[in-house]
Amino acid sequence: MGEKWRIVYFLLAGSAGFLVDAAILTALVSLAGWSPYAARIVSFSVAVTVTWYLNRNFTFRDRPAQRIGHEYLKYAIVQGVGITINYGVFSVIVFLSAHAARLPVLALVPASAVAMFATYLGMHRFAFPRAVEPAHE
């Protein structure tokens, strides 16, 4: 698969994950009265599983499959780095803006954009690596 198409699929999978994240986050804050910080943990956890499935089956489908548990763990590690970046940016924006605290999707957009670069690199190199070529002697 060409890198251009891989990036398109990555962005589509990320968009789907963003929509899942945003919908759950908004519902928990607006309808259930949760704090945006606690709601974000739940919404992100669901979104990670959605994006893993989409990235495995579309974005990196040409990469060798690993044992599902092993691959998901590596994916979760990459997403752990991503959420650290994402949640940090999100928390700062919510803290600094009362408007974003009431409507946390406003903080979610820039936080997700910043973290996107780190997660793509981690998926490309670590979670869904290329097949290892045998060394030539």
pLDDT in tens, 114-137: 898 889 999 989 999 887 655 555
Does any domain span residue 134?
no
Selection from 56, 60, 51, 59 nearest residue 15 by Cα = 51
Angle among Cα 7, 8, 13 to the nearest 5 degrees reads 95
Q: According to the model, what pLDDT value does residue 136 have? A: 55
- How far apart CA 31 and CA 52 sit, in angstroms, is 27
| Number of domain units in the chain | 1
Q: According to the model, what pLDDT value does residue 17 have? A: 92
Structure tokens that stand for 77 in this block: 């590690």
pTM of this structure: 0.76
Q: According to the model, what pLDDT value does residue 66 have? A: 80
Q: Identify the domain containing residue 76 by its residue range.
A: 3-127
For residue 46, pLDDT over 90 is answered with yes
Does any domain span residue 77?
yes
